[in-house]
Structure 1
Amino acid sequence: MKHLEFKGKYAKALIEGRKRLTIRKWTNLKEGDEVLVHSGGKIIGKAKIKAIKKRHVSEITDEEARLDGFRNAEELMEEMKKMGYDGEVYVIHFDFEPLQAVNPHKLYYGDADLEEIARRSLEHLELDERDRLVLETFLSYGSIRKAARKLGGARKRGEIRKVLRKCYNELVKRGLI
């Protein structure tokens, strides 16, 4: 399942239904996708993507700004400037359903330590070259964020998590963790 992440300061607006739109520089989402919504380090709900429009930031309307939790387009523009948004963006409309907050680590890795998953995987599993590089880089830098930067940027965090989840599941299946 895909994920949609928000800063912790937006959790309340999401849960209360005041935030039903987000603007992103990049997205892999498509209309109709169902996603897990993260905020403040927890999974707080699910969302269904209703529509995605690509356009210039100057075309964002007051109505869209309100759906994004802001008073008007001007206030939203100020926030986007702080985040370095200019040019074309993706305007993503979604329906949100709150869930009882879930720690994503527990959901995907149980009580296992990520570094232990990486070490045991390198030792016990047959890995392709890319998965091995991802795990070695993660162990070398000690954090998903730092390893992602080394592997090509923040978007690589998803790749690292995917490899760790795949390895965790295989280690559990083999009784190695």
Structure 2
Amino acid sequence: MKHLEFKDKYKELLLSGRKRATIRLQCYVKEGDEVFVHCGGKIIGTAKIKKVEERSLEEIDDELAKADGFNSKEELINEIKKLYGCPKKVYVIWFDFKPFKNEIDPHEMYYSDADLVEVAKKALENLSLSEGDKRILELFIKTQSIRKTAMKLGGIKKRGVVRKVLRKCLNELRKRGLI
């Protein structure tokens, strides 16, 4: 399942139901997708994507600002400019949020109590891997951090690639009884 991440400062707006939209420079979700919602490093619920729109800053109105948890379009536009500069277009993601009763630690959800450095080492020793996967695991062993590995691979957005390789290796090692 895909993920939609928010800063911790938006948690109460999400939980109260006042935040029903978000603005992004890039969009990887589409209408109908169900996504995990992260806030402050925890998964706090799921969201069903209702609609995705492409808009210019001039097309932002008070209705969108309020749905995004802001008091006015001016306040929202100022936040967009602070985060993204002055983009020609943005994506507006409208969603229905469903909170979990208890927050979930994403690490526990995907890896339980596995030592990821140990997973990487055992995968390199025991699995047939592509050169790309080997490179990622070797970098991960050096950095011992998903974030740092992603940065060395080209940027923070590469975290998903690192996580995917680690999860794939962990699942295969478990299947073979090696972890």
On whether the aligned pair clears a TM of 0.5, the verdict is yes
More displaced 10-residue stretch of structure 1: 132-141 or 151-160: 132-141
Residue of structure 2 equivalent to 1:146: 148
List per-residue Cα deviations over 1:67-119 (Å, max 9, x = no partner).
01100111111211221242211100000000020111111001012222212
- Percent identity over the alignment is 59
Residue of structure 1 equivalent to 2:133: 131
Residue of structure 2 equivalent to 1:108: 110
Residue of structure 1 equivalent to 2:94: 93
Residue of structure 2 equivalent to 1:76: 76
Q: Which runs of 5+ in 2 are unaligned?
A: none
The whole-number CA distance in structure 2 between the counterparts of 1:9 and 1:77 is 17
The whole-number CA distance in structure 2 between the counterparts of 1:82 and 1:142 is 32
More displaced 10-residue stretch of structure 1: 32-41 or 152-161: 152-161
In the comparison of the two structures, how many residue pairs are matched?
177
Instruction: Give the 3-state SS of the residue equivalent to 2:96 in structure 1.
Output: strand
Supply the AA of the counterpart residue of 1:142. Q
Tell me the TM-score normalized by structure 1: 0.95
Instruction: Give the 3-state SS of the residue equivalent to 1:83 in structure 2.
Output: helix
Instruction: Give the 3-state SS of the residue equivalent to 1:147 in structure 2.
Output: helix
Supply the AA of the counterpart residue of 1:120. K
How much is the aligned-residue C-alpha RMSD, in angstroms? 1.2
Residue of structure 1 equivalent to 2:42: 42
Q: Which runs of 5+ in 1 are unaligned?
A: none
The whole-number CA distance in structure 2 between the counterparts of 1:22 and 1:65 is 9
Supply the AA of the counterpart residue of 1:67. A
